[in-house]
Structures are given as structure tokens and as C-alpha cells.
Amino acid sequence: MSFFQTAFVFLVVLSVLVFVHELGHFVVAKRAGITVQEFGFGYPPRLFGIKFGETIYSINLLPLGGFVKMLGENAAPGDPGAFASKSKRVRAAVLVAGSLMNFLLVPVLFSAAFMVGESVPCGRCERVQIYGIQPGSPAASAGLQEGDIFVTIDGQPIKEPDDVRRLIRAVGERPIEVVVRRDTQNVSLRMTPRMSPQEGRPIIGIALGPEFVTVKRPIWEAVPLGIERTADTLRLFAQGIGQIVSREQPAELAGPVGIAAMTGRYARAGLTYLLQFTAFLSLNLAIFNMLPIPGLDGARLAFVAVEGVRGERINPRIEGAIHFVGLMLLITLMLFVSYNDVRRLMPT
């Protein structure tokens, strides 16, 4: 996949996540009677916009995000249509809606992945597939490829991984004929196993196992499986956070460049893997955006909670300044992480 193809797929994935997130804010704000001044895709400067009713729907230059601009976000209560004039419950609902939409998207994407088809090992198919090939090994020299399915070795049929190991041990280091199924045809190759000093037996340098087959689920099976996969992913996510907090494993940050590179790898693996990765990104966005970090919805929600405890709102100018500083720090962190991503991706 070329750089431009990777960039395009990344922007499509990001667009879906951003649109769903901002749509949550937009719908709840509208239903609450809040004046939405702009529904923006990307960050300013604005490229163009169309006004319908009270709202400008805009496309902006920087495609790494989006926003819903509401009347009176960082102002004192005044206009009945202002965000600040609504009750704490309404404001909290608007703030949570974006992350909630991203969270609800997760089982939808996992369900779609199950319907597109998931590759699973077929233990009853009696076929053996090559999962990986060691560079410079006899298998690599003979022309075997990842994904090949063994048909025969030295004229003997292959039905399970132990057949391959047994026959390779039996022939020793003499040349043998190997027939594999590649795509829709059989390919015959000559290969000479090599004695491994570490293992004390002949090897050909492959990882192998049962053939992977694509299993497509109907929607009535895919949806429960998608919900189950979401719960499993949440558990793994919580375990990962716990290990980071306890310093069992280091925290690893990826910026837009790193995420784009990962998106390209999953896209090359197939649509199923891309959908699953997008679901994982959506879950990350839902959780991260609810953290009480200035500039994020989680911090705005925290201010609403403080208001509930104090009985009065914090000075809107102070709150706005805190969110602005937090946003600038987040952008700086994003640029720093992206710089490190570029350094890791550059050839040494």
C-alpha cells in the first residue's frame, strides 16, 4: 500500500470516528434547544461552509478532528439558546454524547467485521498452511510463500502439522519435492532441509498450523459476538491501564503519524482487520475524551460537577482560559509524539 493510499484510508477512518463523535454532541444539543452555530469537520481555517437554518456546516483545512460550536459555551448564562443557560444535567448530557456515540460504534464495527468474515484456523479441514517463513531458510530458498497450503511432501499427503515435521525428520538433508496449493493451483518445488544445531534435527524454517478459513456470520450471530468482543476489549483495555499504572509495562503513545502507519498495516491485512482496528480506535477515543484533561469533554464535565458541588459556576473566562491552555498543551504533545513516530518510521 502506497503512502497516499495509507493516508487516504487513515483519513477515512478518522473521518468516521470524528463524524460519529461530533454527531453525538450535535444531536443532543439540538434536541436540548441549544443554538449550534457551526458543525465543523476538521480544524480552521475554513475551506467552505453551507448554512442551513442557524447552523453552518463547514469543511476546514486541518483534517485531524472536528467540532460543534454552540452559542455561549464559555460565557455566563444569558440567551435561552446558549449552552451556558441550560441545566447542569443537559450540559452534562451534551458533553457525554460524543464519547457515548464512539462507544456505541465499537460493537457496530465489531459486528460488521464478523459479517465481512473473520479468519479462523480450521481444525477439521485436514489442511496445513504456512504462517511464516524464516529469511534465508531452505523454505525461503525453495520459493515457499506465506499462505501456501501443503499438498504433499516427498509424495506423501499432508493432513496435519505433525505430518510435515515427521516427513522432514524422515528425509534428513536430502532434496525432496514439495507440492503446495497457492491461490487456485498446485505448485511443485524442490527443497533441501537443513540440520539445526540448536534443535538437533532437520528443519526447513517455517511456522505452520491448520489452514485459516474465512467465516462469515449472519447478522443475528454477528451482533451478539460484536457485543461480546467489545466486552473482551474493554477488559483487556482495563488490564493494560492497570499494568501501566503499576509499571508492569511502559506507556506507549502514538500520534497521528503512528496511528496512520498502523491503519495502513491493518488495511493491507483486509477489511475485517481494519474494521476491528477502527473499533479499537473508537473505544480509545471514547475513553480518552472523558479524561479530566483541560481541553477535553471530560474536563468540561468536571467543571459542571464542581458547579454542582459549589452551587455556582466558575468564572466562564477562567474556565475558557484553562481549556485553551490545555488544548495548546495537547497539540504540543501531539506534535512531539508525531515527531517521534516519524523518527521510528524513518529507515536507519
Closest CA to 150 of 172, 171, 165, 134: 165
Residue carrying C-alpha cell 464512539: 102
The rounded distance, in Å, linking the Cα atoms of 102 and 21 is 6
Catalytic position from the list 22, 38, 118, 211: 22
| 181 contacts: CB under 8 Å, gap ≥ 6 | 127, 148, 149, 150, 151, 187
Cell 488490564 maps to which residue? 239
Cβ-based neighbours of 212, under 8 Å, separated by 6 or more: 119, 120, 121, 122, 129
Residues in contact with 248: Cβ distance below 8 Å, sequence separation at least 6, in sequence order: none
Say whether 22 is catalytic. Answer: yes
Cα(74)–Cα(80) distance, integer angstroms: 15
CB 83 within 8 A of CB 29: yes
Which residues are annotated as catalytic? 22
